[in-house]
């Protein structure tokens, strides 16, 4: 299909950090990309080395190469599949895309995603490359409200702040909804800092000086689908704050917070549940299906994405619970988890603020039944999806693929399996089983999945890239609508 076909009108939304997110044409989603890029080569050339001069030449829509962490990729065929749109990826055409990738996609396994596009290793100095182009601001209403000096206001983002009384801040969204889980409240310093992460808009930060932090206790209340109130315990907290005049900024980089390890539970031969305690003065919900980056205090740039399994934190109805639970496997060959394994209770771990855009909670609410397909640690986002399905009494099926019996953690599902009034089916499938194993055996196959697809469920997939590719291939074969499929990378 030509890129210039005018009849197809693309609509846009915003990603986590204000980047344009394009509603892709039919047939141009993640499932489609995996299908066409598996077991093939899409790069027009294969080179033993790519110089700066060579890379710079390939900077057009019909010939687009980018540099990512030491390797050059020909992403010409991928442009139409990029969820940020073609112009966004073209910002890095013919140059180094590593910084942009870290800003928007740090958790994505690009080596597997773009393995069909690799040209060769980069050899030379990246200092000779042009800098990536600035972000494209294509929202006319935003252009008119953002002055040349780049001074932003709450009105630029259809938000309003007020003080209904001396101890309360009221945040109202004038466009779209605003829920408690969309709001981070950070009073860990002498600043009053709110991060607003509406599902339908870009994330922004509001900061007020002169916050009195002698008492940082507060409560949060959902007043309506568009209004949230933060009520402080002390009259002095907001005494010196002009609530209508915050410093407003877009969220451009990850902010980390220090959490204390409360407990470490050994649940399998190589897996642990880490329970972390939030610092005083931090309300930081991580909505269902969203994740955060974790790093050790002295880990420099070494971080890994993890999804919490603490349901109450994801669907906070008032103040966010102080405990965050993470299910983590320790790999001897993995640099991050090997270092993490040396941490003990009362040590500190740093968590980024949440990453994610999709309103998974809403998708669960409007669906009739759910199918969860997980492999290994891909079970982690499924825990809170499963719990929300249970809360709403949605018929739910979970297939968890593992290597062996020693990888199974039954206690993760104790409450779900004993809830007799909920329609819940749960099966283990093992690829490396012992003779006494009575459950299902093997790997993900069409005949295993077909019976669960009859009622057209909302499907969630999470596992290693090979597992995800196999499942997507099966779903394509049987004609499943891709709009009913959510893949966690």
Task: Please give the pLDDT value at position 5.
Answer: 27
Task: Please give the pLDDT value at position 175.
Answer: 87
User: Contact, 248 vs 154, CB < 8 A?
Assistant: yes
C-alpha–C-alpha distance, residues 63 and 313, integer Å:
46
Q: What tokens appear for 488 in the block?
A: 């966690």
Taking the chain (489 residues) in runs of 10, the rounded mean pLDDT of each run is 28 35 62 85 94 94 92 94 85 88 68 90 88 57 40 88 96 92 94 91 89 93 95 95 92 88 94 95 94 84 87 80 90 88 95 90 95 95 96 96 90 85 93 85 90 92 89 90 86
C-alpha–C-alpha distance, residues 398 and 449, integer Å:
11
Task: Please give the pLDDT value at position 437.
Answer: 87
Helix (H) or strand (E) holding 173: strand 168-173
The gap between the terminal CA atoms of the chain, to the nearest Å, is: 27
The answer regarding whether domain 149-250 maps to CATH 2.60.40 reads yes
Q: Residue 32: CA atoms inside 13 Å, Cβ hemisphere, count?
A: 16
Task: Please give the pLDDT value at position 247.
Answer: 94
Q: Which of 243, 248, 170, 250 is nearest to 211 (CA)?
A: 243
Phi, psi of 27 (to 5 degrees): 85, 5
Q: Could you tell me the CA-to-CA distances from 304 to 108, 183, 264, 339 in Å, in that order?
A: 10, 23, 18, 12
Same topology between domain 149-250 and domain 256-352 = no
Angle of helix 465-477 versus helix 30-37 axis, rounded to 10: 100
Phi, psi of 230 (to 5 degrees): -115, 115
Task: Please give the pLDDT value at position 334.
Answer: 84
Task: Please give the pLDDT value at position 244.
Answer: 92
Q: What tokens appear for 386 in the block?
A: 């499963």
Q: Which residue has the tokens 């950070």?
A: 186
The answer regarding whether domain 360-488 maps to CATH 3.40.50.80 reads yes
Task: Please give the pLDDT value at position 200.
Answer: 66
Class in CATH terms, 12-128? alpha beta
CATH fold of 256-352 reads Elongation Factor Tu (Ef-tu); domain 3 (2.40.30)
| pTM for this predicted structure | 0.76
| 434: alpha, beta or left? (left if phi > 0; alpha if psi -120 to 50) | beta
Q: Spell out the domain ranges in the chain.
A: 12-128, 149-250, 256-352, 360-488
């Amino acid at each position: 299909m030509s890129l210039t076909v005018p009849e197809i009108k693309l609509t846009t939304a915003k990603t986590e950090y204000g980047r344009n997110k394009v509603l892709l044409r039919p047939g141009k989603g993640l499932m489609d990309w995996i299908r066409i890029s598996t077991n093939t080569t899409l790069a027009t050339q294969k080179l033993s080395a790519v110089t700066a001069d060579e890379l710079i030449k390939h900077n057009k829509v019909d010939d687009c190469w980018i540099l990512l962490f030491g390797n050059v990729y020909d992403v010409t065929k991928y442009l139409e599949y990029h969820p940020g749109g073609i112009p966004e990826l073209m910002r890095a055409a013919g140059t180094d895309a590593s910084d942009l990738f870290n800003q928007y996609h740090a958790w994505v396994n690009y080596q597997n995603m773009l393995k069909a596009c690799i040209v060769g290793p980069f050899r030379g100095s990246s200092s000779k490359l042009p800098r990536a182009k600035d972000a494209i601001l294509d929202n006319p209403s935003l252009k008119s409200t953002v002055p040349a000096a780049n001074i932003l206001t709450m009105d630029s983002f259809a938000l309003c702040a007020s003080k209904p009384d001396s101890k309360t801040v009221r945040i109202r969204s004038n466009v779209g909804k605003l829920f408690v889980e969309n709001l981070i409240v950070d009073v860990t310093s002498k600043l009053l800092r709110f991060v607003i992460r509406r599902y339908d808009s870009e994330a922004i930060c509001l900061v007020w000086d002169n916050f009195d932090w002698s008492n940082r206790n507060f409560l949060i209340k959902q007043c309506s689908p568009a209004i949230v109130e933060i009520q402080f315990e002390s009259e002095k907290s907001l005494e010196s704050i002009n609530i209508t005049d915050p410093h407003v900024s877009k969220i451009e980089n990850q902010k980390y917070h220090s959490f204390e390890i409360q407990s470490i539970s050994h649940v399998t031969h190589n897996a642990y549940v880490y329970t972390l305690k939030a610092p005083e003065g931090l309300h930081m919900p991580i909505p269902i299906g969203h994740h955060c980056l974790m790093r050790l205090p002295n880990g420099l740039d070494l971080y890994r994405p993890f999804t919490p399994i603490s349901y109450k934190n994801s669907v906070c109805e008032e103040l966010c619970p102080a405990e965050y639970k993470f299910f983590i496997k320790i790999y001897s060959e993995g640099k991050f988890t090997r270092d993490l394994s040396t941490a003990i209770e009362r040590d500190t771990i740093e968590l980024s603020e949440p990453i994610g855009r999709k309103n998974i909670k809403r998708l669960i609410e409007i669906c009739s039944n759910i199918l969860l397909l997980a492999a290994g640690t891909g079970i982690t986002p499924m825990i809170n999806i499963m719990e929300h399905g249970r809360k709403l009494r949605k018929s739910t099926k979970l297939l968890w693929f593992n290597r062996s019996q020693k990888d199974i953690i039954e206690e993760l599902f104790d409450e779900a399996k004993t809830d007799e009034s909920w329609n819940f089916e749960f099966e283990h499938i093992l690829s490396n089983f012992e003779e006494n194993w009575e459950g299902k055996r093997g790997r993900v196959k069409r005949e295993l999945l077909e019976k669960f697809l009859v009622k057209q469920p909302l499907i969630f997939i999470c596992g290693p890239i090979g597992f995800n590719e196999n499942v997507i291939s099966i779903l394509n074969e049987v004609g499943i609508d891709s709009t009913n499929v959510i893949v966690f990378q």
